[in-house]
Amino acid sequence: MRRLVRSALFTAAAVAAASGPVLGQTAATLEQALPEATQALAARESVEAREFMVAAAHPLAVEVGHDILARGGSAADAAVAVQAMLTLVEPQSSGLGGGGFLLYWNAATESLTTFDARERAPAAADEGYWLDAEGEPLSFWDAVVGGRSVGVPGTPKLLEVLHARHGRLPWADLIDPAIAQAEEGFEVSPRLAGAIADAQERGLDTFDATRDYFFDAEGAPLAEGTLLRNPDLARTLRLYADQGAAPFYEGAIARDIVAAVRTDTNPGILELEDLASYEVIERAPVCVEYRAHEVCGMGPPSSGALTVGQILGMLEGFDLREIGPGAEAAHLLLEAGRLAFADRALYMADADFVSMPEGLLDRDYLRDRAALIDPETSMGQAEAGDPPWEDAHLRAPDSERPRRGTTHFVIVDRYGDMVSATTTIESGFGSRVMTGGFLLNNELTDFSFRPEADGQPIANRVEGGKRPRSSMSPTVVLRDGRPAVLVGSPGGAAIIGYTAAAIIAILDWQMDPQAAIDRPNMVTLNGPSIIEDTAEGAELAEALAAMGHEVSLRDLNSGLHVIVVAEDRLISAADIRREGAVRGQ
CA distances from residue 545 to 69, 295, 376, 445 in whole angstroms, order as listed: 48, 31, 11, 33
Which of 29, 406, 475, 499 is the catalytic position? 406
Binding window for ligand DON (CB under 6 A); candidates: 76-84, 213-221, 454-462, 489-497: 489-497
Q: Is 492 in the site for ligand DON (CB under 6 A)?
A: yes
Nearer to ligand DON (CB atom), residue 34 or residue 162 = 34
Dihedral sign of CA atoms 130, 132, 138, 143 in order: negative
DSSP 284-338: PPEEEEETTEEEEE--TTB-HHHHHHHHHHHHTTS-HHHH-SSHHHHHHHHHHHH
Nearer to ligand DON (CB atom), residue 446 or residue 508 = 446
User: Residue 60 Cβ, how far from ligand DON at the closest point, in Å?
Assistant: 20
Which of residues 405, 513, 527, 580 is near ligand DON by CB under 6 A? 405
Asked if 434 and 209 count as a contact pair (C-beta separation under 8 A), the reply is yes
Which of residues 156, 430, 491, 528 is near ligand DON by CB under 6 A? 491
The C-alpha atoms of residue 94 and residue 86 are separated, in whole angstroms, by 7
Q: Residue 392 corresponds to which amino acid?
A: A
Q: Is 119 in the site for ligand DON (CB under 6 A)?
A: no
3-state secondary structure of 534: coil
Q: Is 401 in the site for ligand DON (CB under 6 A)?
A: no
Which of residues 92, 149, 155, 424 is near ligand DON by CB under 6 A? 424
User: Residue 507 Cβ, how far from ligand DON at the closest point, in Å?
Assistant: 24
Active site residue 406: yes
Q: Is 460 in the site for ligand DON (CB under 6 A)?
A: no
Which residues in the 26-65 window bind ligand DON by CB under 6 A?
A: 35
CA distances from residue 11 to 15, 378, 448, 459 in whole angstroms, order as listed: 6, 21, 22, 28
3-state secondary structure of 467: coil
∠ CA 435-409-35, rounded to 5°: 65
User: Residue 204 Cβ, how far from ligand DON at the closest point, in Å?
Assistant: 16
User: Residue 98 Cβ, how far from ligand DON at the closest point, in Å?
Assistant: 9
Q: Is 495 in the site for ligand DON (CB under 6 A)?
A: yes
**Site mask for ligand DON (CB under 6 A), range 465-484, x = bound:** -----xxx------------
Burial of residue 20 (number of CB atoms within 10 Å: 0-12, 13-18, 19+): buried
Q: Is 426 in the site for ligand DON (CB under 6 A)?
A: yes
Closest alpha carbon to 421 in 39, 30, 54: 54
User: Residue 499 Cβ, how far from ligand DON at the closest point, in Å?
Assistant: 11
The residue count of the chain comes to: 585
Nearer to ligand DON (CB atom), residue 401 or residue 519 = 401
Which of residues 309, 325, 490, 497 is near ligand DON by CB under 6 A? 490
Q: Is 564 in the site for ligand DON (CB under 6 A)?
A: no
Q: Is 344 in the site for ligand DON (CB under 6 A)?
A: no
The H-assigned helical ranges of 348-441 are 363-370
Closest alpha carbon to 442 in 285, 263, 309: 263
Angle between helices 75-89 and 171-184 (to 10 degrees): 20
Q: Kindly state the number of chain residues that form the binding site for ligand DON, as judged by CB under 6 A.
A: 16
Which of residues 163, 404, 461, 577 is near ligand DON by CB under 6 A? 404
Which of residues 406, 435, 448, 475 is near ligand DON by CB under 6 A? 406
What residues act catalytically?
406
Contacting residues toward ligand DON, per CB under 6 A: 35, 403-406, 424, 426, 443, 446, 470-472, 490-492, 495
